[in-house]
Structure 1
Amino acid sequence: MTTHTTSETSPAIRLGLQANLAQFSLLVVVNALVGGMLGQERTVLPLLADDVFHLSAYTAAMTYILAFGATKAVTNFFAGTWSDRYGRKPVLIAGWLIALPVPAMLAWGPSWGWIIAANILLGMNQGLTWSTTVIMKIDLAGPERRGLAMGFNEAAGYVAVAATAMATGAIAEHAGLRPEPFLLGAAYVVLALGLSTFAVRETRDHARFEAARHVTPAGSEHDAELTTGQIARLTSLRDKALSAASQAGMVNNLNDALAWGIFPLLFAAHGLSIAQIGLLAALYPAVWGAGQMLTGWWSDRIGRKHLITAGMLLQAAAIALVAAGTTFGVWATAQILLGLGTALVYPTLLAVIGDVAHPAWRARAVGVYRLWRDGGFAVGALLAGALADAYSLTTAIWAIAALTAASGLVVALRMYETHPRS
């Protein structure tokens, strides 16, 4: 690995996973703790809505996902802008400071309004911390291994989601739905704040180093001098790859809102125990998380577009299988397939953004993409809840399966291949 210096007196800045292994590995650990904060809710909160707070309407029960998704989506946008303006590390620390009261609010909040407020703070935490760890890993990895870097990042986060969902389900089975399951989250936030404050180093200079050597093709509109508004329009609408990635990301997280808020209620309605529901809630993100270490690397080898298309279509088939199933075995198979489909898509979409966006405004492009992607939580909560209230749980699931298949076809028809080797 060649060492490059910005001047004779400045410290060496090197791009690549091997050159930045210690910091990259530390950021993987931090992102695992980010995922754990989300995982503490996956099994327990849908059951809390039903058993403790007695919310009879599905739309009302999904309000915590709506609050989380809307807040996280908006915070993602600002995370990219702020990390360019103030640096990555201050944004990361701010995200963990915001998370400090969340476990206590979930564990002892006396009304559903407290749960919604906790999820607003959690959305801010996830938007600031997850976005920033993504940006920092892209900064460190350089152009050659973005897919692999995003695979490690997302794998760490979602394996932690799965492990924590399973752990909280087991704790709830023996100790009750509150407060014990949320003590894990309290430990996560304290550890993550300490690591982010005392061990994580700033990476913004790595992006500036790459930007100084970035060659923009003649006639391209992807130059370094773009306003935030221009970046938002380019990422959302004008660039075919960026806009296709943005819509696929939104539908992907719409699916996650369905799996988070509706699937546990469907499983409970068919008589599954809390422990079984916890296992199913963990199986999908476990396969998703572990699979990304392979799929991110794979996208560096064969390109991005076809993996994204296949992943969206596989997710659609898995969701349809959930709607058609009535037994633990069928649902376990569906959760595995859903995890595989999501693993094909999730790190690959982020790699597309890294491929296309100029290093000078890449953080803001990631923020815009994640605005759309995590807006899927809010859209999914509203759509799935409304359809379940008006018709049934299975109708909501069938409708979202069809929407996911349509999203995969949009990628197939609109996205161009972005990986430089392809």
Structure 2
Amino acid sequence: MSIRLGLRENLGQFSLLVLVNAFVGAMVGLERSILPAIAEQEFHIAARTAILSFIVVFGVSKALTNYFAGHFSDRFGRKQVLVAGWLTAIPVPFVLMWAPDWNWVVGANVLLGMSQGLTWSTTVIMKIDLVGPKQRGLAMGLNEFAGYFAVASSALATGWFAARFGLRPEPFYLGVVYVVIGLLLSVFVVRETRHYVAHELRTHHPETGESRLTQGEIFRRTSLTDCNLSSVSQAGLVNNLNDGMAWGLFPLVFAAAGMTLVQIGLLAAIYPAVWGASQIFTGALSDKIGRKWLIVWGMWLQAGGIAVTALTADFMTFGLGAVLLGLGTAMVYPTLLAAIGDVAHPSWRASAVGVYRFWRDLGYAVGALLAGITADLFGLVPAMWLVAALTLLSGLISAVRMTETFTRGTG
């Protein structure tokens, strides 16, 4: 079989992976608009830190699984890791439907985090395998568009189901559908892509010392010692830190401002919908103008969106804050992944993606804990201002420390 790198050359398999990742994102969207309401109304949990505990365990389990997903996909193959992720997700919707206490919900989010780490990491790695060096930004934009537009659609759907039928169990029936379709597609239609890396190594990358790094060396480079890789990792962590805050606190902020369940579901959907849809354009844009300044200005725009939300109690202005936060995140999310692909050698790229995603998704846990503790001590609005300040600082770090990673004419 002839192997050719490129999006157009592998459009069928690439499109299938985009579809699979849409179902991966939809699983997270199940919880996006209604789980804080379930915590307050069904389990009578008042402390913000306790309510956000489901995001903490989700973030930690996803972060750790991300790290191992990159390594395992190199060792055992991408498809096997993808299928394992869907198998891990099977119990999640059933536990969310029938959980007798909050600890069961927290346990379901451990499984959801593990599943997301395996499935989403693998779809990212497989798309990078297929497209080669020339269109990474566009490829990551399409991948993240599918995932986060599905997050938004699922959040909107569960909000509507909750308003019409109640908080449980009906909204989580959707999760059963997502798992069944995602698993069947991954088992029977998705093909292994690891051999595309071998082809890229032969055609684009001669054997050097760069291709023989240990897992420890890859972790240190991606986390600390390489200015570009470590800048990407810290920006990813802060990006998901503010997303963890938005996931856990925004529904509570909206409810405190008198929004209905339908309005909360709509507001919870606007941010990931704008984020998801815009990534098609921002990912491709990074292939034309470069990665660095999209990352920097994206972080600063996110900080502005959080500030707008902190300053208002009005539905339309909440919507404006969500749009700004979504646009800023869209500028950053696919661009960070593309930058990893630019810098990391193909022989250890999957592992570097795993390390980056470890730090990025650890941001969920850090953000939920930080926002929850601050909200309990000082209130919801000060918690949002703290996260906005950290996001602004992250953009400044990237502006000072990063160099441009994209080289025009690559490949």
With the length of structure 1 as denominator, give the TM-score of the two structures. Answer: 0.96
Q: Distance in 2 between matches of 1:289 and 1:280?
A: 15
Matched, 1:102 2:89: no
Counterpart for residue 161 of structure 2: 171
Q: Distance in 2 between matches of 1:374 and 1:217?
A: 32
Is the Cα contact below 8 Å between 1:214 and 1:359 reproduced in 2? Answer: no
Map of 1:44-193 to 2, 5 A cutoff? Answer: 44-193=34-183
Deviations 1:36-95 (A, max 9, x none): 000000001011111111111000000000010000000000000000000000000000
Counterpart for residue 238 of structure 2: 251
Instruction: Read off the aligned partner of 1:275 and give its amino acid letter.
Output: V
Matched, 1:349 2:336: yes
Q: State the identity %.
A: 61
> For 1:401, which of 388, 400, 407 is the aligned residue?
388
Deviations 1:389-417 (A, max 9, x none): 01000000000000000000001000110
Q: Distance in 1 between matches of 2:253 and 2:332?
A: 25
Counterpart for residue 306 of structure 1: 293
Q: Distance in 2 between matches of 1:412 and 1:107?
A: 45
Counterpart for residue 207 of structure 1: 197
Give 1:208 shift. 1.4
Is the Cα contact below 8 Å between 1:314 and 1:341 reproduced in 2? Answer: yes
Matched, 1:35 2:22: no
> For 1:379, which of 366, 388, 400 is the aligned residue?
366
Give 1:174 shift. 0.7
Instruction: Read off the aligned partner of 2:160 and give its amino acid letter.
Output: A
| RMSD of aligned residue pairs (Cα, Å) | 1.0
Q: Distance in 1 between matches of 2:163 and 2:190?
A: 37
CA shift in 2, pair 1:198/1:217, >3 Å? closer
Q: Distance in 2 between matches of 1:74 and 1:27?
A: 23
Give 1:214 shift. 3.2
Q: Distance in 1 between matches of 2:282 and 2:74?
A: 29
Give 1:420 shift. 1.5
Q: Distance in 2 between matches of 1:53 and 1:209?
A: 54
Q: Distance in 1 between matches of 2:140 and 2:244?
A: 22
Q: Distance in 2 between matches of 1:126 and 1:98?
A: 9
Deviations 1:126-167 (A, max 9, x none): 000000000000000110000000000000000000000001
CA shift in 2, pair 1:14/1:227, >3 Å? same
Q: Distance in 1 between matches of 2:333 and 2:157?
A: 24
Give 1:215 shift. 3.4
Structure 2: runs of 5 or more not aligned: none
Q: Distance in 2 between matches of 1:257 and 1:12?
A: 43
Instruction: Read off the aligned partner of 1:182 and give its amino acid letter.
Output: F
Matched, 1:332 2:319: yes
Q: Distance in 2 between matches of 1:288 and 1:254?
A: 16
Matched, 1:274 2:261: yes
Q: Distance in 2 between matches of 1:48 and 1:284?
A: 21
Q: Distance in 1 between matches of 2:330 and 2:228?
A: 19
Q: Distance in 2 between matches of 1:385 and 1:180?
A: 28
Q: Distance in 2 between matches of 1:317 and 1:208?
A: 43
Is the Cα contact below 8 Å between 1:288 and 1:342 reproduced in 2? Answer: yes
Counterpart for residue 348 of structure 2: 361
Q: Distance in 2 between matches of 1:361 and 1:402?
A: 34
Matched, 1:263 2:253: no
Q: Distance in 2 between matches of 1:381 and 1:162?
A: 20
Give 1:217 shift. 11
CA shift in 2, pair 1:182/1:361, >3 Å? same
Q: Distance in 1 between matches of 2:78 and 2:205?
A: 24
Count matched residues.
409
Q: Distance in 2 between matches of 1:211 and 1:405?
A: 38
Give 1:216 shift. 6.5
Q: Distance in 2 between matches of 1:326 and 1:103?
A: 33
Deviations 1:331-366 (A, max 9, x none): 000000100000000000000000000000100000
Instruction: Read off the aligned partner of 2:220 and give its amino acid letter.
Output: R
Instruction: Read off the aligned partner of 1:212 and give its amino acid letter.
Output: R
Give 1:325 shift. 0.8
Q: Distance in 1 between matches of 2:170 and 2:194?
A: 39
